[in-house]
Amino acid sequence: MLEGARGEFFRFIGHPLFMWQERDTIFPVIECQFRYKVPARYDDVLGIEVKVASLDRVRLSFAYLVRDHESGRELVRATTSHVCTSTQEKPKRIPDDLVAALKPFLEQSTTAPLRSRL
């Protein structure tokens, strides 16, 4: 679910992940953390908020808040950490145009997080 929300986030900011792969740039997950608060049930409609938690030269991380769409109840908080690499998995700098597109969504930013529904 987090990967789907992250993919939607990249499409939302105008930088689809497939476009980056075509440019020899990928963002493999190097760490993932979950804090489960309340369980979801089958057929629950979930909403996922995505924000950029950190951004530097070659690393970035995302923060997620998963809620029950109908009640708004918080279910899960999660983070994923990524490194920017070539498709041959050689570390490289995050492209400047992507950094510019991501900066407004840094957690301390006043920009609202992207809300995705699953």
Model confidence, pTM: 0.88
The DSSP symbol for 22 reads H
Domains detected in the chain? 2-117 (3.10.129.10)
What is the CB-side half-sphere exposure of residue 51 using CA atoms within 13 A? 17
SS3 readout for 30-87: EEEEEEECCCCCCCCCEEEEEEEEEECCCEEEEEEEEEECCCCCEEEEEEEEEECECC
- Is the predicted pLDDT of residue 80 greater than 60, yes or no? yes
pLDDT band at residue 117 under the 50/70/90 scheme: low
Q: Residues 117, 69: contact at Cβ < 8 Å?
A: yes
pLDDT for 48: 96
